[in-house]
Structure 1
Amino acid sequence: MRKFLYILCFGFLLTTCDDGNIFEVTFDFEDTFSQCGTLVFYKTNGSTSESLSIKFAALTIEDILEVGEDNLYENTLPLGSTNVFNYRSYTNLPADNLLFCNDIPPSNLGIITDEVSLSGQVYIRTVLVEDDNDGIPSEQEDLNGNGNYDDDDTDSDGIPNYLDADDDGDNVLTKTELDTLNADGDDDPLTNPKDTDGDGTPDYLDTDDDGDGVLTRDEENSNANLNPTDDISDPDSGVADYLNDQVSTTVVATAFRTHTIRMTYTITATVTNISLPSITQQTLDFGTLDDSDVTSDTRTGMPVFN
């Protein structure tokens, strides 16, 4: 919960206020905000029946999600009669979606205070983080340790390891090849990754997991479906062919599996130089957008077969 402290001066009727009319009021708002329409950022406090909102004249949520090559979007917009920053207090705070997301306001909307900033700026920042959700943190997929995740591509398929759900290009997903048994009890699969053939290269980076001379991706003897895990030629062993060094039949693969890349957007807003009739605030951290429908997405990675 973020608290914003304002100094308010109330005159008695139309008289000039004196020191006895000055007191502190603290508004409590969460560190997050919501959005709707085209486009309103808003946050409310049900216990005090207050709201803060920013209504944009020519900005959409799609604009804010348009990050550049550096996975970053930044924009500073003026506040005033077009992009409107608004503080309100109410006798009874309606539901958020009725308050900001309806063309027709609710009939029981009792507004006590309604103030608009005639100046100021709002700075909007979007940061996109992408991940392959393969169980390995991105920082641990920087194999050459140079701080650049994009130049680590074990299977040379055009997708760097931190975005590649199958790092070694053997058509067995990395998260499948990690040691899920947690033998050492530390909940970190990378401290004892599975290495079926004991060659020193963990399975998730090994193109021939069982060391039988046949590439894992080419051991699809039952179902040629780009998934070696469901090919078991020896049912008595109960082991898939790509992990059974006694089976070395070759069915040459012709493609890699497609990849699902998880996208997470962090959208923040900061308001500066607010000027309201009874509120002055140099800098207001409006918070972070809390809307998983907007901030979470996926895209498909298309690895280049080689």
Structure 2
Amino acid sequence: MRKLFLYILSISLFTLLSCDDGDILDFEFEFDEDFEYCEGVSDLVLYKSKSDPSETMSLLISRYDLDDLLDVGANDTLFIEDEDASFTYRSYYDTSIDDIFCNEIPTNLNINIDETDDVLVDILTVLTAYDDDDIDSDLEDLDGDGDLTNDDTDGDGIPNYLDADDDGDNVLTADENPDPDGDGDLSDAQDTDDDGIPDYLDDDDDDDGVLTRDEENDSTDQNPTNDLTDGVIPDYLNDLVKNTVPATAYRSNTYYKSYYITLDIKEIGLSILSQDTLDFGYMTEGPDSVTTTPDFN
């Protein structure tokens, strides 16, 4: 029966502290901080590998898949404590051990040291969600209460920090110059009609009495930026053009989710190690995009 080479994270240059019979060989792990993953039929494998010398570390967590680690709660975090896992350290005579995880075991693989132990792991996943609209999320907390979820300028059910069109005028926030010089100071945000409300939060940008989203005189495609009656200035920024074509829909909205996963190993009992805990490092996943179209109001 074929076996998957379920392998593990790499971190080491060996430092031999003592070579007397019966003494513990104390290895100083020098793997990169980030780890990778692969999924079996019913198991999740997290691993690191390195060369010169060739070494791997891996964790096998039964009954888990990656989606389980990304299933964050309402506070955008997930903490899994004291989960059972199998921890394996291997060193190799081979100079190259590329692509040995989650594949069939190579027939010419020369293993030098091979130790496995049952351990406990703590896993922390933190989700960062954002709309990529050229405004830092913390600057979209308009009421300053530290809660980004209750700031929804256009009332479309999507909070501003996830809304690519904060004011619901069908012009993307990023296209309304919220931070012209990119310095993180929004005090110089574009304000076409000088009414004190920046365009990205103003549903009537030119103050002509016609909502920006209703100034689609050439094409009704939920994009007022391509409607130019005079051929020069978009109608929604031209207070001399007041034709009204009532909008019937919002444009679709896309936001992004990125995950940062850290893992600690506890109760390690490998004979080559004098330590019983190990910071296994981190893994990033994403960004994944989420696209929806809010109900029109």
Q: TM-score, normalised by structure 2?
A: 0.88
2:45 equivalent to 1:40: yes
CA contact 1:270–1:287 (8 Å) conserved in 2: yes
Counterpart position of 1:61? 66
2:80 equivalent to 1:75: yes
CA contact 1:9–1:278 (8 Å) conserved in 2: no
CA contact 1:72–1:126 (8 Å) conserved in 2: yes
- Say if 1:240 and 1:203 are closer, same or farther in 2 by CA, change over 3 A: same
Counterpart position of 1:254? 248
1:286 to 255, 268, 280: 280
Counterpart position of 1:127? 126
- Distance (whole Å) between structure 2 residues aligned to residue 227 and residue 66 of structure 1: 35
Structure 1 residue 200 displacement after superposition: 0.8
2:190 equivalent to 1:194: yes
- Distance (whole Å) between structure 2 residues aligned to residue 168 and residue 155 of structure 1: 5
Structure 1 residue 60 displacement after superposition: 0.7
- Distance (whole Å) between structure 1 residues aligned to residue 81 and residue 265 of structure 2: 9
- Distance (whole Å) between structure 1 residues aligned to residue 150 and residue 184 of structure 2: 24
- Distance (whole Å) between structure 2 residues aligned to residue 86 and residue 44 of structure 1: 12
After TM superposition, list the pairs within 5 Å mapping 1:91-130 onto structure 2.
Answer: 91-97=93-99, 99-102=100-103, 104-118=104-118, 120-130=119-129
2:102 alignment partner AA: C
- Distance (whole Å) between structure 2 residues aligned to residue 288 and residue 166 of structure 1: 33
- Say if 1:8 and 1:277 are closer, same or farther in 2 by CA, change over 3 A: farther
Range moving further from structure 2, 23-32 or 264-273: 23-32
After TM superposition, list the pairs within 5 Å mapping 1:133-282 onto structure 2.
Answer: 133-178=132-177, 181-182=180-181, 187-188=183-184, 190-235=186-231, 238-282=232-276
- Distance (whole Å) between structure 1 residues aligned to residue 213 and residue 90 of structure 2: 62
- Distance (whole Å) between structure 2 residues aligned to residue 135 and residue 234 of structure 1: 29
Structure 1 residue 2 displacement after superposition: 7.0
CA contact 1:87–1:114 (8 Å) conserved in 2: yes
3-state SS, counterpart of residue 280 of structure 1 = coil
CA contact 1:159–1:301 (8 Å) conserved in 2: no
- Distance (whole Å) between structure 2 residues aligned to residue 270 and residue 101 of structure 1: 22
- Distance (whole Å) between structure 2 residues aligned to residue 276 and residue 25 of structure 1: 11
- Distance (whole Å) between structure 1 residues aligned to residue 14 and residue 77 of structure 2: 31
Counterpart position of 1:28? 30
3-state SS, counterpart of residue 144 of structure 1 = coil
3-state SS, counterpart of residue 27 of structure 1 = coil
CA deviations over 1:68-117 (Å, ceiling 9, x no partner): 222222223544xxx310011111154442x1111x21122111100112
- Distance (whole Å) between structure 2 residues aligned to residue 254 and residue 219 of structure 1: 12
- Say if 1:198 and 1:158 are closer, same or farther in 2 by CA, change over 3 A: same
Structure 1 residue 301 displacement after superposition: 3.4
Structure 1 residue 187 displacement after superposition: 3.4
Counterpart position of 1:299? 290
- Say if 1:172 and 1:129 are closer, same or farther in 2 by CA, change over 3 A: same
Structure 2: gaps (5+ residues): 1-9
- Say if 1:181 and 1:72 are closer, same or farther in 2 by CA, change over 3 A: closer
- Say if 1:199 and 1:4 are closer, same or farther in 2 by CA, change over 3 A: farther
3-state SS, counterpart of residue 280 of structure 2 = strand
- Distance (whole Å) between structure 2 residues aligned to residue 4 and residue 143 of structure 1: 51
- Distance (whole Å) between structure 1 residues aligned to residue 120 and residue 15 of structure 2: 18
CA deviations over 1:144-191 (Å, ceiling 9, x no partner): 000011111111111111111111110000000015753xxx634613
1:298 alignment partner AA: S
Structure 1 residue 282 displacement after superposition: 3.0
Structure 1 residue 268 displacement after superposition: 1.4
Structure 1 residue 67 displacement after superposition: 1.7
- Distance (whole Å) between structure 2 residues aligned to residue 285 and residue 299 of structure 1: 32
3-state SS, counterpart of residue 277 of structure 2 = strand
3-state SS, counterpart of residue 229 of structure 1 = helix
CA contact 1:216–1:242 (8 Å) conserved in 2: yes
CA deviations over 1:256-292 (Å, ceiling 9, x no partner): 11210101111111111211122132321111114xx
